Amino acid sequence: MPSLSKPRKPKKTRKPLRVTCEKCGKRRQKAITTNPITNQKRKSPKKICQECHEKWIDYRFFDSSFGQWLRYAFKRQCQNSIPEDTADLRDLIHLWKKYVHAKGLSFEGEKVTKKYDYQLCHIDPVKQCDGKIGCLTASNLMIAPETVNRELSNLPYPFTSKSSVPIGEAITDDNFKAICRERYDIKLLIKEFNFVISTKKQLNGYSFGGVDSNQVLSMELNRLGYDVNHMINHNDAALRESLVNEVYETFFKVGGVIATGLLAQYGQIIGKGSIEYDFTLPIHKVEQNKENKAMKEKMLYGTFDTYTG
Ligand SMILES: [Zn+2]
């Protein structure tokens, strides 16, 4: 029997918790993470050191498919023509997600195929001759069929969003990350959009999205602030496509008002719901789902005890 009089060990003063970091393998103090929404700090639930934790956040943003696209897109821009702050970048991420969804992707082994060829087209072109540049912002971009973009690429678009800015300092591989870290709350955006990096192996057999160009056209005009109530719903696919492309070209050459008028002429009236984007942030969708579930449970298990049918 253990002796009851065994002297107790003197209480230790609390030392910072050290763990063997699962990323770098070093024995280090556990990372303190900050919730970007509430600003609350807590010890990371993972065995990870501060340095690796910061690296991991960087990785989730910059190595995501959006991060890679952004780096490529920023190379054609300058420091004046990129999203100004976190709110601007949030709008761009929303648009980029709609763009990827519209293309529709299928993953099969190493192969990724898209259902539709869309591009994110600048309304004010990137290259302009008067020392100005078109911005990489949601209000200066439009999801359009690649064919439309190719046909117009050699012409200066006569219609502009009037949001061009004077050309500023360049963005290179060397300053890209630093510019992003300084301007944008990367941690917040990761949380809001739930940036996850999936390997092709994990995505194998998975497919999503794919939106016809007639629907994309109406949705895009709506997003850009035009009052659109129509969609071109012609049964003949070739005719439908040529009418859609004509409206797109009218948009880039003449402007949104005339394009919207043409769309009303060619299309049929349709409920706003099917031609309006849902810009709910993924983080809020999760919360909504939780709320819906709680509501369902309430309905199933009482609480409505005053209800008499
Ligand atoms: Zn580490």
pLDDT in tens, 106-115: 999 889 999 9
Q: Domain segments of the chain: what residues? A: 213-275
Q: Are 251 and 279 in contact (CB under 8 A)?
A: no
Dist. CA 25 → ligand 1 center (Å): 6
Q: Hey, which bits of the chain come out as E strands?
A: 18-20, 27-29, 32-34, 41-43, 105-108, 111-114, 118-122, 132-133, 141-145, 165-166, 207-208, 230-231, 268-269
- Give pLDDT tens digits for 196-237: 888 888 889 999 999 999 999 999 999 999 999 999 999 999
Using a 10 angstrom Cβ sphere, with 0-12 exposed, 13-18 middle and 19 or more buried, the burial of residue 22 is exposed
Dist. CA 239 → ligand 1 center (Å): 59
Cα–Cα distance between 77 and 132 in angstroms, integer? 11
- The reported pLDDT for the residue numbered 306 is 37
Using a 10 angstrom Cβ sphere, with 0-12 exposed, 13-18 middle and 19 or more buried, the burial of residue 223 is buried
Dist. CA 86 → ligand 1 center (Å): 28
CB burial of 64-84 (b: ≥16 within 10 Å; e: otherwise) equals: bebbeebbebbeebbeebbbe
User: Which residues are placed with Cβ below 5 angstroms of ligand 1, an ion?
Assistant: 21, 23-24, 49, 52
**Among 44-58, 150-164, 277-291, whose mean pLDDT is lowest?**
150-164
DSSP codes joined into one string, 209-221? ----HHHHHHHHH
Q: Are 240 and 234 in contact (CB under 8 A)?
A: yes
Q: How many CB atoms lie within 10 A of CB 138?
A: 21
Dist. CA 51 → ligand 1 center (Å): 6
The encoded tokens of residue 65 equal 């498919």
Dist. CA 33 → ligand 1 center (Å): 14
For the whole model, what pTM was predicted? Answer: 0.86
Mapping DSSP to helix (H, G, I), strand (E, B) and coil, where does residue 41 land?
strand
